[in-house]
Chains A and B, each alone.
Chain A
Amino acid sequence: MQTPNKRMLKIGVKYCGGCNPLYDRVAAVKELEQKLQGKAVFVAAGTEEVDLILAVEGCSTACADLSPFQGISIQMILTAEDVRKALEHIIETVRNRPCIG
């Protein structure tokens, strides 16, 4: 039987502008990238055919412009604690994705 293939999850990263962030947003994304190695690839939010938008908001105002991403699933991070929840959700998404081939 052929081993099923899964294309890696393509995650588009959209940051807010960082006027007064409550946590290190770049470090948070790097942490997720590291923990999702082999399962997901992180690209700029405007890249074509992303599977998920990771909205990295520095605070609860969450002012990043997400209007270009209508119709795409969005995972919000508003605090450092949200990184763990985002990781769990993304792993679940990867697990539930249909196989290719």
Chain B
Amino acid sequence: MAMMTADQYEESLRQLKLVVHMFGKRVKNVVDDPIIRPSMKAVAKTYELAQYPEHEDLMTATSHITGKKINRFTHIHQSLNDLVKKSKMGRLLGRETGCCFQRCVGMDALNALSIVTFNIDQKHGTKYYERFKTYLAYVQENDLTCDGAMTDPKGDRSLPPHKQSDPDQYVHVVEERKDGIIVRGAKAHQTGAVNSHEVIVMPTIAMREQDRDYAVSFAMPSDADGIIYIMGRQSCDTRKLEGTTIDMGNVLFGGHEALVIFDNVFVPWDRVFMYKEYEFAGELVENFAAYHRQSYACKVGVGDILIGATQTVAEYNGVANASHVKDKIVEMNHLNETLYCGCIACASEGHREPSGTYNVNVLLANIHKQNVTRFPYEIARLAQDLAGGLVVTMPSEEDLRSPETGKWLEKYLKANSNIPTENRMRILRLIENLTLGTAAVGYLTESMHGAGSPQAQRIMIARKMNMAEKQRAAKRLCGIADPQ
């Protein structure tokens, strides 16, 4: 099958029989729900851009299994160039959508599994790698969107999975059968879950032998029996129900997150990629985390949008030529391009794994992500600085349209007389959307916690920084003849 178009992707979602809950009710039509639909449109962009010659070089790749052209989101990285293109693709899509486009987690899960299933087989003589490749071929052939599900609710963080008072705080095997396993648990913060065809589950922490029942990785259709989705709220989410557009800020796209429940889900063996090989749980986590930390290239694209909006509002306000405004715009760009440096560096300095998959430089991926936990907040702060207080006090679109109040808003919210008041309102709402509205979920807090919270990167940086070489070099320069 050729790559799907955006329309075909949307139609494919309509065939799914997802069990989705939101605001206390079962969502009957997920694809057209006004709160969920913008997020579907964002994922659809990953399909749409792959059809355009002007984006083909980033959005598509050649499958190393079939030799066919595939969407890069289903590709296993075969070179450093692939890793660099993945970063660039993230920036492109971040700029095209201004939000979380959700499809990267599945790509990162596939790549991590391509490495670890191979390594498990090498040690244990299992057949996970072949099983995984069969699954991968299916994903590529059908151009599927996969949700990469790692984060368990975790319960009491001071206790390992097997000591939790509620054993379901981590996804685990509750029954082993001849034809497969039954699993129970949940995965939290699942980006794009209800826009996905498949869910790929991975453990969330390194494990010991007592946790072997929790060392499980598998993939299931997103509408498999027993999988239940409870949508997460987002700041300003119900603006999408107001029937207006200005106040949404981003009138086209958005993201979503969900709590995904696995209520005694049956998984056939051919979809199990790790089963009780607990010593590989940490390796799977680290490989997925490295890839996913690289994936925050997307925030550079979203940063492009925020910077463009900030420059625009400065022009609308008539302050764009003030020296401090220019300097703040430069600072925003400095921070944003520094993030870009990070995602390109970790890709360029990648390496080949025994399975043949190319992986990012783990230290640099963590450096990049550590910056992502900080710089968007400063970029957002500068955006709000230059937007002015009106970004949070502005009356609604309904007031603009009202025959009674519209004339006052037209009069008093106009800045540059050549710019329609509505345009000023629109750009301010976009800045609001990105810095404290629905898109701030992705641009700020997900930047903080996605792919691991800040401390997780500091742990990896501490592990990977080459301190011995730094000390050797320092001692040599000051004449310390230290054999150690």
Query: Which of A13, A15, A19 has the most C-beta atoms of chain B within 10 angstroms of its own C-beta?
Result: A19
Majority-rule SS of A interface residues: loop
Whether a CB of chain B sits under 8 angstroms from the CB of A20 is yes
Q: Does A16 contact B (CB under 8 A)?
A: yes
Choose from A16, A20, A26 the contact partner of B57 (Cβ within 8 Å).
A16
Contacts of B81 in A (CB 8 A): 65
The CA of A93 and the CA of B67, in the complex, are separated in Å by 35
Residues of A within 8 A of B56 (CB): 15, 17
* A44 neighbours in B (Cβ, 8 Å): 53
- Contact size range, B: 10 to 19
Q: Once the chains are docked, how many angstroms separate the CA of A57 from the CA of B256?
A: 34
Q: Assess the B57–A64 pair: CB atoms within 8 A.
A: yes
Q: For residues 60 through 78 of chain A, which have their beta carbon under 8 Å from a beta carbon of chain B?
A: 63-65
Q: A63-B84, A65-B81 are in contact. Are A17 and B53 (CB under 8 A)?
A: no
Assuming the A-B contacts A63-B84, A65-B81, are A18 and B92 also in contact, with contact meaning beta carbons closer than 8 angstroms in the complex?
yes
* Contact present for A17 and B55 (CB under 8 Å): yes
A17 adjacent to B304 (CB under 8 Å): no
Asked if residues A15 and B57 are in contact (CB atoms below 8 Å), the reply is yes
Q: Given contacts A25-B54, A64-B57, A65-B57, is CB(A17)–CB(B84) below 8 Å?
A: no
Which chain B residues lie closer than 8 Å to A64 at the CB level? 57
B58 touches A19 (CB 8 A): yes
Instruction: List which B51-72 residues lie within 8 A (CB) of chain A.
Output: 53-59
CB neighbours (8 Å) of B59 from chain A are 17
Q: Does B290 contact A (CB under 8 A)?
A: no
A14 CA to B54 CA, complexed, in Å: 8
- The digit string for A18-59, where 1 denotes a CB below 8 A from any CB of B, is 111000011000000000000000001100000000001000
Binary A-proximity of B74-114 (CB < 8 A = 1, otherwise 0)? 00000001001100110110010000000000000000000
Write out the residue numbers on chain B whose beta carbons fall within 8 Å of the beta carbon of A26.
54
CB distance from A49 to the nearest CB of B (A): 18
Do the beta carbons of B54 and A19 come within 8 Å of each other? no
Q: How distant is A59 from chain B, measured CB to nearest CB, in Å?
A: 11
Question: Which residues of A are found within 8 Å of B57, using beta-carbon distances?
Answer: 14-17, 63-65
B53 touches A13 (CB 8 A): yes
Closest-by-CB residue of A relative to B340 is A20
Given contacts A20-B304, A63-B84, A65-B81, whether A15 and B92 have CB atoms under 8 Å apart is: no
* Best-buried of A13, A16, A56 by chain B (most CB within 10 Å): A16
Q: Are B53 and A20 in contact (CB under 8 A)?
A: no
- Alpha-carbon distance A26/B49, docked complex (angstroms): 14
Taken together as a complex, chains A and B put the C-alpha atoms of A23 and B53 apart, in Å, by: 16
Instruction: Scan residues 39-54 of chain B and give those whose CB is less than 8 A from a CB of chain A.
Output: 53-54
Which chain B positions have C-beta within 8 A of A17?
A: 55-59, 85, 88-89, 92
- Select from chain B the residue with minimum beta-carbon distance to A24: B54
Take A17-B58, A17-B59, A20-B304 as given contacts and tell me if A63 and B53 are in contact as well, using a CB distance cutoff of 8 Å.
Answer: no
The answer to whether B84 and A18 touch across the interface, beta carbons within 8 angstroms, is no
Residue of A nearest to B304 (CB): A20
Asked if A19 and B92 sit within 8 Å, CB to CB, the answer is yes
A15–B91 CB distance below 8 A: no
Closest to A58 in B: B54
> Across the interface, do A20 and B84 meet the contact criterion of CB distance under 8 Å?
no
Report the minimal beta-carbon distance from A29 to chain B, rounded to whole angstroms.
Answer: 8
Q: What are 18 A-B pairs with beta-carbon distances under 8 A?
A: A13-B53, A15-B54, A17-B55, A17-B57, A17-B59, A17-B85, A18-B55, A19-B58, A19-B92, A20-B91, A20-B92, A44-B53, A63-B57, A63-B84, A63-B88, A64-B57, A65-B57, A65-B81
Q: A17-B58, A45-B53 are in contact. List 17 more A-B contacts (CB 8 A).
A: A14-B57, A15-B57, A17-B55, A17-B57, A17-B59, A17-B88, A17-B92, A18-B54, A19-B92, A20-B88, A20-B95, A25-B54, A44-B53, A56-B54, A63-B84, A64-B57, A65-B57
Closest 6 CB pairs of A and B: A17-B58, A19-B88, A17-B57, A15-B54, A19-B92, A19-B91
